[in-house]
Structure 1
Amino acid sequence: MGVVTTTLAIVLAIVFAATVIPLILSVVGGNAAGLPSLSATNEPETDEPTGDAPQQALPTGTVGAAHFDDGYLSVGTGAQVVDVYFDPMCPYCRQFEETNGGQLAALVTDGSITLRLHSLTFLDRVSQGTAYSTRASAALTCQATLNPERLLAYQAALFANQPAEDTAGRSDAELAGLVESPADISACLAAGEYQGWSQANTEQALNGPIEDADITRIQGTPTVLVNGSVYAGGLTDPVEFRDFLTAGSVG
């Protein structure tokens, strides 16, 4: 009897180890069937850059509209400065662009403002491993260096063709196809240009400090600063945003 009992106990232990323990591990890892997953938001989950950008020296100086040392793309020469922090895959950023992009472009054209664009990459995590935010940010920077006069038009095209979160996003060919001369952008993307720079800018923005601003770091997108003051109004209210610009002596 003792031998039979011992043998049965060993068999049961083996069955337990083969079935229950893997189930526990899958739950801890967040992959068990039926468990809800966190949905993506406009708030970064980490202060670390994401994606697998090629390891290369970061660019320096100014090329076209890209101010590499300062970490932004800049158009316009107005005394009033508007900073827009966004992620190309952020749906709230698309709403802001669709509502206010036109009036910002007009203020750039008439010399009222200097518009500084900060394209972030923290939503790489919701593009199924394709690092869409990094690639789109790099494409925007390619356009800034090659065709700075078309930078805002390309930004608008990126948002007009924005992929949904939790998809692979647009391919490099599709990103290049949004400009009039796709070959230039294709070559820039194929070389991996500006991916590392975009991720370094993201790390700086999320960790801070943000110079000459009433915030120390970026905690969500879009974040819009007018002369260093944060716009806290409605993203889809152009009148409210215009009033905020006017209060900041814009226009």
Structure 2
Amino acid sequence: MTIEPTDPQQGSQYPQGYGQQPYIPFPPKPTTNTLAIVSLVSSFFVSLVAVITGHIALGQIKQRGEAGRGLALAGLIIGYVGIATTALFVVLAIAFAATFGAIIAAVAGGAALPFPSVSDTPSEAPSDSSSLTGQVGAADFDAGYLAVGTGPTTVDVYFDPMCPYCKQFEVANGARLSAAVDAGAITLRLHALTFLDPASQGTDYSSRASAALTCQATLRPESTLDYLAALYAHQPAENSPGLTDDELVALQGANLDFADCVASGRYLAWSQENTKAALIGPIPDSEIESIQGTPTVLVNGAQYRGAIDDPQEFAAFVDGQM
């Protein structure tokens, strides 16, 4: 029996494709995009380059079907993190340089470093006293002093509320001066200075006490000398914080207008500017050029150079100038 060969092009008893599938070679593995590699590597060194090459690489990978998308994304992420870190470092460096530079400039210029203010110092103290003019109560803002009495003899007392020698002068002569004011014999001009601010542990006590005295002089001028006596009676030691604002208010009593004046720091700048003017000079109608220490007492422009705690010697000097 002869078996005729089967034409391979004719139908077969097996369905096409049955059995072992014909060999189909694997598609070629896509090449890794070069810029993706560059992006990842450069991200550890130059963040901006990593970001730029990463974005370019992603575009090329999408168009060409290349591999390396993960590398490009990794480079982008690391690059952006690097940029953010660098930016933060630059900002911190600038802030540090500005702060440190200000301190160096202050030291180099001979300026005292500012002490941090505590709660006793008003947070919004006036920056200048240019708006203070004329006379309010006992305060003469143009001349820079507090004046009580209208007598023909002028007595100027330059003092610092924290100065212990000023207290000695007040204890010895305060009552006599007050009596002379009441008798109409003298005009007493008070110059409250603030040069001992650095001796109050950053609270600027001299400025605050001087400003509080000015508050009293403007609101209740008839009690100016009483408040000055209270300041001396409760004078804090040098190199201590001094009285708080509440304690300064308590020396006067429970008056809301006075408490508001003290808390606002209304006359802080004025007191400090008067101090600068006194230390630099000139001193009007006086035999001295500037204030060299406290207490400095002038009677009709002549400086008293006797013992500050000898009331008889001082009284004789005043009588000699009348």
Name the TM tier (shorter chain).
0.7 to 0.9
In the TM superposition, structure 1's runs of 4+ consecutive aligned residues that sit over 4 Å from their partners are 50-53
Pairing 1:112–2:198 present: no
Counterparts of residues 123-162 of structure 1 (less than 5 Å): 123-162=196-235
Q: Which whole-Å CA distance do the structure 2 matches of 1:159 and 1:183 have between them?
A: 23
Higher relative contact order (CA 8 A, sep 6+): 1
Give the match for residue 268 of structure 2: 195
Fraction of identical pairs, as percent: 59
Q: Which whole-Å CA distance do the structure 2 matches of 1:248 and 1:181 have between them?
A: 41
Give the match for residue 68 of structure 1: 141
Q: Pick one of 281, 284, 290 that aligns with 1:217.
A: 290
How far did residue 182 of structure 1 move? 3.8
The SS at the match of 2:156 is: strand
- 1:199 maps to a residue whose letter is Q
Bigger radius of gyration among the two:
2
CA contact (8 A) 1:76 1:109 kept: yes
CA contact (8 A) 1:176 1:183 kept: no
Give the match for residue 244 of structure 2: 171
The SS at the match of 1:210 is: coil
Q: How many residues align?
A: 203
How far did residue 245 of structure 1 move? 0.6
Give the match for residue 15 of structure 1: none
Q: Which whole-Å CA distance do the structure 2 matches of 1:183 and 1:163 have between them?
A: 24
Please, what is the CA RMSD of the aligned residues? 1.9
The SS at the match of 2:287 is: coil
Q: TM-score normalised to the size of structure 2?
A: 0.61
The SS at the match of 1:54 is: coil
- 2:199 maps to a residue whose letter is V
How far did residue 70 of structure 1 move? 0.3
Pairing 1:55–2:127 present: yes
The unaligned stretches of length 5 or more in structure 2 are: 1-110
CA contact (8 A) 2:249 2:258 kept: yes
Q: Which whole-Å CA distance do the structure 2 matches of 1:182 and 1:127 have between them?
A: 26
The unaligned stretches of length 5 or more in structure 1 are: 1-45
Give the match for residue 25 of structure 1: none
Pairing 1:183–2:256 present: yes
Q: Can you list the C-alpha shifts for 1:149-204, whole angstroms capped at 9, x where unaligned?
A: 00000000000000000000000000010013442221001211110000000000
Give the match for residue 320 of structure 2: 247
Give the match for residue 7 of structure 1: none
